[in-house]
Chain A
């Protein structure tokens, strides 16, 4: 049989082919493009305008701090929300089921989605930095900070995406996905130093709670990358805690992966 003799394309090849179509899909849905990119940028502009002052004796404006912290929101928005709701939709409209009926593996499916999320996250971060640099005169950091940025950004996107995949399993209808997924996103941003900084304004127990989740560490890390060293006095520990950040995000990668593998479903539950 010629079919059996020929070699099937690998998981990675399939994933890349799917990623291309995912990106095409996304770009063509103009509403999604506008809301995904414009919303965080709009929030940043709003916060920057409303809180126009600076942090004492550091010369850093509140707007610059928001720019750094909001990169965590960018990763959450594209990784967690886009992934979670996209997966719920694919499950509901049968895209996943149809793919299940082809030679491709679930890994190839997820690689395709991951490519989309990754491209979106890079574009999202570029958009936020553009606003920060052009509107709020945020200075760009040196090479060593960019190196930290790379691992931090990758870990953040992976954690958000894995958690998005896992959470999509409890989303019953794609219609409610946005509402469900936004609950942890908004709540965590308030307690993790994204919307409210210095984070030390929060009750200690709330900071402790936030410390169990990745968002606090993501935003703290991005502040390390883009802000001068003197700003560390406003962090909960008065330190940048990069090692601990890597540890917590790494742990969440493992948690997210386990949740993904145990909860992934190709189809909706039987009704």
Chain B
């Protein structure tokens, strides 16, 4: 295996008769951010648990920072930052006490005060954990993951339950981690989060990898840029370079391999037809479109089963 931050090969995770992760391979190169996307139950958290050493894989191999997450647990943990989805913090202790306790486990921790300020937790420093809102607990949980200056962080739905402002702060922090050379493996439901943060995206479906690539590759590979043109109704644009459909009267959707020449030709067709063009829109397919297209099967199947 290469010298990546995380190397997962053919990993299988089973719970009784259910196979949660069914032969997944992926790699997080050092200093990069990989986002694991997928519906609930797609196997994201199970895979993360294997990487974090919380459970053994039922098949395959997993190396984290070149080490075995279970056998080399003690050597590995000081170098990792783990943000769990929920729970597991002393409910009667205050946010400040908890963060300082976790900081004290590390050889060279970040300043808890700095993290408290950065994550907007100063107001809640003396608030007991059980009185914190969901978003505040998440922010504290993120601070706990980062306080030990990890080389690699695992973030399980880091911004779940956060308000818009905290979400942006969190994104900024993750971007800073990346520029400091920290590797990040995160799971998320939020496509804009993945698009903004991730160098690489892995889309999981029913425990398998459905697609892999950079956000740009994934959106481009699908070949799905659109051109929308508003003009007189009833025209029939035709070309070898593109396909056109009049979606609603006067609204044309043009698809195909839309490079500059093809777009120019499309506009030119309307000009030649003497049409009055009132709007031209290019729409770049987002990661969300790709994601929905890839996971649609699973949704349909789940729907049929119900």
Where the two chains meet, the residues of A that have a C-beta atom closer than 8 Å to any C-beta of B are 1-4, 6-9, 13-14, 17-18, 21-22, 24-26, 28-29, 93-105, 266-267, 270-271
Contact = CB atoms under 8 A, between A and B. Distances in A.
Interface of B: 15-16, 52-55, 74, 77-80, 82, 84, 86-93, 97-98, 101-102, 104-108, 128, 144, 148-149, 151
B189 to A, nearest CB: 21
- A-B complex: 7 closest residue pairs judged by Cβ atoms: A94-B88, A98-B88, A6-B107, A101-B82, A94-B87, A6-B108, A28-B92
27 contacts: A2-B149, A4-B79, A6-B107, A7-B107, A8-B106, A21-B90, A21-B97, A22-B90, A24-B92, A24-B93, A25-B93, A28-B128, A94-B84, A94-B87, A94-B88, A95-B87, A95-B90, A97-B84, A98-B82, A98-B88, A101-B82, A102-B102, A103-B74, A103-B148, A104-B105, A267-B54, A270-B15
B78 A3 contact: yes
A18 B101 contact: yes
Contacts of A18: 101
Given A93-B88, A94-B86, A21 B79 contact: no
B88 A95 contact: yes
A98 B15 contact: no
B273 to A, nearest CB: 64
Given A8-B107, A105-B74, A100 B128 contact: no
A103 B87 contact: no
Contact of B54 (A1, A13, A22, A100): A100
| A7, A29, A93 interface centre (most CB from chain B within 10 Å) | A93
A28 B92 CA distance: 6
Given A1-B151, A101-B54, A9 B88 contact: no
| A3, A95, A267, A270 interface centre (most CB from chain B within 10 Å) | A3
A271 B144 CA distance: 28
Contact of B90 (A9, A25, A103): A25
Contacts of B92: 24-26, 28-29
Contacts of A1: 151
A70 B82 CA distance: 45
A17 B100 CA distance: 10
A187 to B, nearest CB: 32
Contacts of B54: 97, 100-101, 266-267
B54 to A, nearest CB: 6
A29 B129 CA distance: 13
B84 A9 contact: no
B88 A102 contact: no
B84 A101 contact: yes
B126 to A, nearest CB: 12
Contacts of A104: 105
A119 to B, nearest CB: 16
Contacts of B128: 28
Nearest to B144: A98
Contacts of B97: 21, 24
A9 B102 contact: no
A1 to B, nearest CB: 7
Given A9-B104, A21-B93, A93-B87, 6 more contacts: A2-B108, A3-B79, A3-B107, A25-B90, A100-B53, A103-B77
A18 B15 CA distance: 33
A29 B128 CA distance: 11
Contacts of A26: 92
A9 B77 CA distance: 13
Contact of B101 (A3, A17, A96, A101): A17
Given A9-B105, A102-B105, A3 B151 contact: yes
Given A1-B151, A3-B149, A103-B106, A8 B78 contact: yes
A24 B90 CA distance: 10
| B55, B89, B102 interface centre (most CB from chain A within 10 Å) | B102
Nearest to A13: B104
A235 B12 CA distance: 61
B148 to A, nearest CB: 7
A95 B89 contact: yes
A101 B77 contact: yes
A103 to B, nearest CB: 4
| B74, B78, B97, B98 interface centre (most CB from chain A within 10 Å) | B78
Nearest to A102: B105
A6 B80 CA distance: 15
B276 to A, nearest CB: 63
Given A21-B90, A25-B90, A25-B93, A101 B105 contact: no
Nearest to B14: A270
A267 B55 CA distance: 9
Contacts of B148: 102-103
B21 to A, nearest CB: 13
Contacts of A3: 78-79, 107-108, 149, 151
A68 B77 CA distance: 47
Contacts of A96: 88
Contacts of B93: 21, 24-25, 28
B16 to A, nearest CB: 8
A28 B53 CA distance: 33
A103 B84 contact: no
